[in-house]
Amino acid sequence: MARPVWNGTISFGLLNVPVQIFSGERSVDLHFRLLDSRDKKPIRYERVNSDTGEEVAWKDIVKAFEYEKGNYVVIPEQELRAAAPEITETVEIQAFVERDAISPMYFEKPYFLVPGRKAEKGYVLLRETLKKTGRIGIGKVVIRTRQYLSALMPQGDALLLNLMRFPQELIQPDQFALPEGKLSDYRISAPELKMAEQLIDSMTVGWKPADYQDDFRDKLHKFIQRRIAKGSGSKRREQDESPPIPKGDTNVVDFMALLKKSLAAKGGKSTSQRPRAAAHRKERAPSRRSA
């Protein structure tokens, strides 16, 4: 069983629901070590005093804020939490908004909220009300001495707390040179738009998260296993490890031709023809090269 990040409370209006907060993600990254190329010994990072050069133990390290160059004020974490305990232990819901009103840019990291002892009624009441109204709660929460904007939303039988970015943490799209104006300004014709819609429709499926895997991580695992099998001292690269040299791109693109080929590969030119096209594919599968 995972350990909770903290025990706290969901607060909205005059209602309070005791909860535990658990991380909703796990790390599956491959972690590499840095080695000295001369003897393959691990490189160690040390915490050293900038004046004496001596290593400092964790027990002797404190957090401090540099209010001006070379001047610090030490802020022990226990005192920081004690300064505002009601903030550090509460998900304070300030408002409710429509679920689709928030841009995906704002969402950062999910946490599961689990009801505390004898708090199931308030938990279920809040969860089911959010489902029925299609709303999510917006509030603030402090985790490890940092305050986050957060969104409280139902997820099956759970209440999910999604940490969000504050507006000042985001770069707005008007900072970039993005294409504006009418479709005709970019020579996009009505047939091209219609065919692009048909292509998207032909590729539309139900959302099944299990259908999507981290292919790069799997290939990296296989590459590492091959290196282990060959021996780490070998310098020879396998022939299939060399990536192909990419060809130069061009701005002159025949979109209609590409759209027609894409639709043909998907089995038809329109949604109404898709079932018959699928049957045709069973009778005559495309060659490996065309696929």
For residue range 163-190, list pLDDT tens digits in order. Answer: 998 888 888 888 888 889 888 888 888 8
Question: Residue 85: pLDDT above 70?
Answer: no
| Pair 99, 155 in one domain | yes
| Pair 160, 187 in one domain | no
| Pair 121, 191 in one domain | no
Which residue matches tokens 């709303």? 135
Query: Predicted confidence band at 226 (pLDDT cuts at 50, 70, 90)?
Result: confident
| Pair 12, 113 in one domain | yes
3-state secondary structure of 154: strand
Residue 96: burial class (beta carbons within 10 Å; 0-12, 13-18, 19+): middle
Least confident of 14-23, 106-115, 223-232: 223-232
Q: Is residue 12 part of a domain?
A: yes
Residue 140 contacts residue 148 (beta carbons within 8 Å): yes
CA dihedral for 272, 278, 281, 283, sign (positive or negative):
negative
Nearest to 96 by CA among 150, 147, 157: 150
Question: Residue 287: pLDDT above 70?
Answer: no
| Average pLDDT, integer, range 70-87 | 71
| List of E strands, the chain | 6-12, 15-23, 64-68, 71-74, 90-98, 107-115, 135-143, 146-155, 158-164
pLDDT at 25: 64
Q: Is residue 48 part of a domain?
A: no
- Give the integer Cα–Cα distance in Å for 186 and 75: 57
Amino acid found at 69: K
| Pair 115, 188 in one domain | no
| Pair 155, 193 in one domain | no
The tokens describing 24, both together, are 């909703």
Taking each helix axis from N to C terminus, what angle separates 255-266 and 190-202, rounded to the nearest 10 degrees? 30
As separate numbers, helices (DSSP H) first and strands (DSSP E) second, the chain gives 7, 9
pLDDT at 127: 94
| Pair 139, 95 in one domain | yes
Residue 269: burial class (beta carbons within 10 Å; 0-12, 13-18, 19+): middle
The tokens describing 112, both together, are 């599961």
Residue 23 contacts residue 104 (beta carbons within 8 Å): no
| Pair 163, 188 in one domain | no
Q: What is the tally of structural domains in the chain?
A: 2
Question: Residue 97: pLDDT above 50?
Answer: yes
pLDDT at 130: 94
The tokens describing 124, both together, are 């279920």
The tokens describing 25, both together, are 């993600």
Per-residue pLDDT of 128-149, as tens digits, reads: 999 999 999 998 888 776 788 9
Amino acid found at 225: Q
Domain that holds residue 95: 6-27+81-169
Q: Give the rounded percent of residues in the chain with a pLDDT score beyond 70.
A: 77
| Pair 14, 116 in one domain | yes
Residue 271 contacts residue 194 (beta carbons within 8 Å): no
- Give the integer Cα–Cα distance in Å for 273 and 287: 21
pLDDT at 206: 87
CA distances to 10, 12, 140, 183, 235 from 86, in Å: 11, 14, 12, 53, 59
| Pair 20, 160 in one domain | yes
pLDDT: which is higher, 77 or 64:
64
The CATH number assigned to the domain holding 128 equals 2.40.290.10
| Pair 160, 201 in one domain | no
Query: Predicted confidence band at 1 (pLDDT cuts at 50, 70, 90)?
Result: low
pLDDT at 284: 44
| Pair 140, 193 in one domain | no
Q: Is residue 275 part of a domain?
A: yes
Q: Is residue 56 part of a domain?
A: no
